[in-house]
Amino acid sequence: MTTILEVRSAVVRYGAITAVRNVDLSVDRGEIVAVLGPNGAGKTTLVSAIAGILPLTQGSMHFDGQDITRLGIEEIVRRGMSLTPEGRRVFADLTVRENLVLGGSSQTDRALFEQDMQRMFEMFPILHERSKSPAKTLSGGEQQMLAIARSLMSRPRLLLLDEPSLGLAPRIVDQIFRLIDELRRDGLTILVVEQNAAEALAFADRAYVLNVGEVVYAGTSAEVAASDDLAEHYLGGQLS
């Protein structure tokens, strides 16, 4: 497989606090890779640095063979990477369609833009039904769908998902992860940060387990799921 994302010796500090320390991570084209770990493990900090929101203190990042270590989020989006942030963060007072328009703001071809909008409405029928409604009137699950659709409007080759199941009912969580799997089958590469380890491991190809900013284990999803030690110490108990 071809590596699309490579992170090497990544360090992120907030003043005197080191939130991410010497992390190596790679994602191959067409994979779903999960980043797992308890609260405070550094998962969101790591994915925020990959997306260009936070600067690396040390280390390097390459996307599709190009050095993106010092690039900001707008340039990284233009190169084909998009982040759906933790907590959804839709624009509450804008309509569903207006949120999607913002997600596709880097698209200069109007015909392709409208094609992408139609694709989102086909993929998420509820967003079509609610296209003129303010985003704040959607349920939590519908807002998560909108947040993912907004990210997809930029036509990413790598989608970063930060805690997509956070705060959602189990039925909606299953729906979100089925969607993630469908996106991978359509050829999208996905890096997903999750506390819901069992759900993530059911779909991911590989996983990295973080604790206090460090990778404590990296392997296939089957290997992680089979480890009672990882489950007990880092992943909140049983994985099945």
Characterize 31-43 residue by residue with b for buried, 16 or more Cβ atoms within 10 angstroms of its Cβ, and e for exposed: bbbbbbbbeebbb
Mean local confidence (pLDDT), 17-46? 96
Characterize 3-21 residue by residue with b for buried, 16 or more Cβ atoms within 10 angstroms of its Cβ, and e for exposed: ebbbbeebbbbeeeebbbb
In angstroms, the CA 62 to CA 10 distance is: 12
pLDDT computed for residue 81 by the predictor: 96
pLDDT computed for residue 168 by the predictor: 86
Sign, CA torsion 7/8/9/13 = negative
Kindly give the pairing relationship between strand 81-84 and strand 158-162: parallel
Closest CA to 223 of 207, 203, 240, 199: 207
- Indicate the pTM of the whole model: 0.92
pLDDT computed for residue 237 by the predictor: 62
pLDDT computed for residue 29 by the predictor: 96
H or E element that contains 103? helix 96-103
- Take residue 123 and report the two structure tokens written for it: 């993929």
H or E element that contains 147? helix 140-152
The pLDDT tens digits for 125-175 are 999 999 999 999 999 999 999 999 999 999 999 999 999 988 888 888 888
How many C-beta atoms surround the C-beta of residue 71 within 10 A?
17
Domains defined for the chain, CATH in brackets = 3-88+156-234 (3.40.50.300)
Residue 240 has pLDDT above 60, yes or no: no
How far CA 184 is from CA of 26, 67, 123, 190, in Å, comes to 17, 25, 14, 7
pLDDT band with cut points at 50, 70 and 90 for residue 34: very high
Mean local confidence (pLDDT), 191-196? 93
> pLDDT over 70 for what percent of the chain?
98
Closest CA to 221 of 211, 236, 231, 233: 231
Residue 105 has pLDDT above 60, yes or no: yes
